[in-house]
Structure 1
């Protein structure tokens, strides 16, 4: 249960008004009282309710917080749209933050948002700091982890296995007769889910007896130009490749542009594979080999699960969504 002003007042042996003054850094009390109240508040895990201060209510409202890796991500734009549409239909409003693929930044954002007493939270991924996990358990609100499937969620999970996506693509390129594979990724130090796809791809190749030839891990945002110069850097080292798997479709499209600029025929000279099923790939002259992710559906499912939990309905703890491999014409 969440501690409130009355709980702290009772434990400290002072009035609720005194507790309120102390927590608002007011006056009219001794230093000893201040230290005692603050110490008890910390022990009880009290989080100030900013909405209560502003509107005079100590009840959770209709706000739902959602933290995504990047606000500029095309894929997460569709996830956000799915969440926002579903929440709006069910009478809730969305507030959004971005972690920049940093678990520490995610924790700081959650600490700020929890103080507003949201109805619940939707988080991207299943890797969090110990502080985040403790904070969420103390807050006692519905939490949905999306995008990266976990079988032991904090509360609920809606997602898929990124490692399985990578492994599935490895099996596909092998079935097409490709034996000299490379990989180009981004956010190598922080994108846990992208790293899982890479490891799934690499491990499946090795298991089949055709280990990955080389990988280029860029410390950059995954975009068109990153795919272009990533392929340039990978090929510059002199290894032979017959297929390259990219972090996402935008990078794969950048790789296709590099091939066109340098006279490489796709898929005859080299195969190109992406991930995500991004809209930009729909205008290519050749259908991109990729994995389609039901982005809007994930957002909708997450929002509906959270609201169902708020209504006291029975909710499935783990909701596995299906991705779809598109064979395309680029491998």
Structure 2
């Protein structure tokens, strides 16, 4: 019984006993069957998290925040990717639920009816992060993408920009990027200077898409005085285009991004952008989930503020 308690992480034994048991287990190559333990005790230490893209630097920081917090609290992470497709998220969730996780963390609030039914009937904590949902399935942690767009639009109007464009790479399911665009356009319209043009690519929102997208947009609308990009990667691609073509930034054209990726702060001209506290969001999501597991009181909606950085390119 003492050996079993040690291997299960229990208490009631000395440090010396623990060390001897673990030394023998190591020599034998013993690895505990956590799934069997979870089935026997009805207490899993696995938490599933599904994000849009594993190649996204922003979601890498979110995952880091989740993983660090959960490991500190005694849980392990199972990571999945939905490629901004609600149907892929549902397929991932059906697989994960078969492992009887302690809870799941999902990105956004755009789910299929099947996903919503699974989550409501699973009897486990659910955290929707990244896009704040005032009526969550269980817990929501994040911020308003629409408000991010509004804030940037208002900022550029105050800066004297009057002919704004947008370059993005939005899939049908990327409702968060679409919300930023809608907020941006709404702020411009309210100020009497509607969005002049947009170029939306069916591509990954990376550096090349920003370079190429700006080239296409300016060929069609050379009169623009500022361009808002889907994210910082695309904005940096836009800056590269301006450098290659001799476009002065911000004199001839303003370039603004979103996300706050680290590279944006060390450019020759600091990028004008919105900084998202990615690691803090991941940490808050993990802690809220574990608090729910423990029956501790906590808010269902947790807002994590973003920050607009004026930079030198807007």
What TM-score results when the alignment is normalised by the length of structure 1? 0.83
- RMSD of Structure 2 on Structure 1 (CA): 1.4
Instruction: Report the alpha carbon displacement of residue 74 of structure 1 after superposing the two structures with TM.
Output: 0.3
Cα 1:52–1:323 change in 2 (3 A) is closer
- Number of residue pairs the alignment of both structures matches: 282
The aligned counterpart of 1:311 is 294
Q: Is the 8 A contact 2:199 2:213 kept in 1?
A: yes
Match among 281, 286, 297 for residue 298 of structure 1 = 281
Q: Is the 8 A contact 2:197 2:221 kept in 1?
A: no
Q: Which runs of 5+ in 2 are unaligned?
A: 1-32
* Secondary structure at the counterpart of residue 65 of structure 1: strand
Alpha-carbon distance in structure 2 between the residues aligned to 1:259 and 1:230: 12
* Secondary structure at the counterpart of residue 319 of structure 1: strand
* Secondary structure at the counterpart of residue 96 of structure 1: strand
Alpha-carbon distance in structure 1 between the residues aligned to 2:35 and 2:42: 8
Equivalences for residues 141-220 of structure 1 within 5 A: 141-220=124-203
Q: Is the 8 A contact 1:171 1:205 kept in 2?
A: yes
Q: Is the 8 A contact 1:122 1:302 kept in 2?
A: yes
Match among 105, 111, 114 for residue 94 of structure 2 = 111
Equivalences for residues 91-102 of structure 1 within 5 A: 91-102=74-85
The aligned counterpart of 1:285 is 268
Instruction: Report the alpha carbon displacement of residue 187 of structure 1 after superposing the two structures with TM.
Output: 2.4
The aligned counterpart of 1:230 is 213
The aligned counterpart of 1:9 is none
Equivalences for residues 130-149 of structure 1 within 5 A: 130-149=113-132
Q: Which runs of 5+ in 1 are unaligned?
A: 1-49
Instruction: Report the alpha carbon displacement of residue 168 of structure 1 after superposing the two structures with TM.
Output: 0.3
* Secondary structure at the counterpart of residue 155 of structure 2: helix
Deviations 1:277-303 (A, max 9, x none): 001112200111000000000000000
What TM-score results when the alignment is normalised by the length of structure 2? 0.87
Q: Is the 8 A contact 2:38 2:45 kept in 1?
A: no
The aligned counterpart of 2:8 is none
The aligned counterpart of 2:59 is 76
Equivalences for residues 260-271 of structure 1 within 5 A: 260-271=243-254
Q: Is the 8 A contact 1:51 1:117 kept in 2?
A: no
Deviations 1:217-275 (A, max 9, x none): 01111111110000001011144100000000010000000001001000000000000
Instruction: Report the alpha carbon displacement of residue 207 of structure 1 after superposing the two structures with TM.
Output: 1.0
Alpha-carbon distance in structure 2 between the residues aligned to 1:158 and 1:236: 40
* Secondary structure at the counterpart of residue 158 of structure 1: strand
The aligned counterpart of 2:15 is none
Alpha-carbon distance in structure 1 between the residues aligned to 2:41 and 2:73: 22
Does residue 323 of the first structure (1) align with residue 306 of the second (2)? yes
Instruction: Report the alpha carbon displacement of residue 60 of structure 1 after superposing the two structures with TM.
Output: 3.3
Q: Is the 8 A contact 2:231 2:259 kept in 1?
A: yes
Instruction: Report the alpha carbon displacement of residue 57 of structure 1 after superposing the two structures with TM.
Output: 2.3
Cα 1:284–1:248 change in 2 (3 A) is same
Alpha-carbon distance in structure 2 between the residues aligned to 1:279 and 1:172: 22
* Bigger mean CA deviation after superposition, 242-251 or 184-193: 184-193
* Secondary structure at the counterpart of residue 57 of structure 1: helix
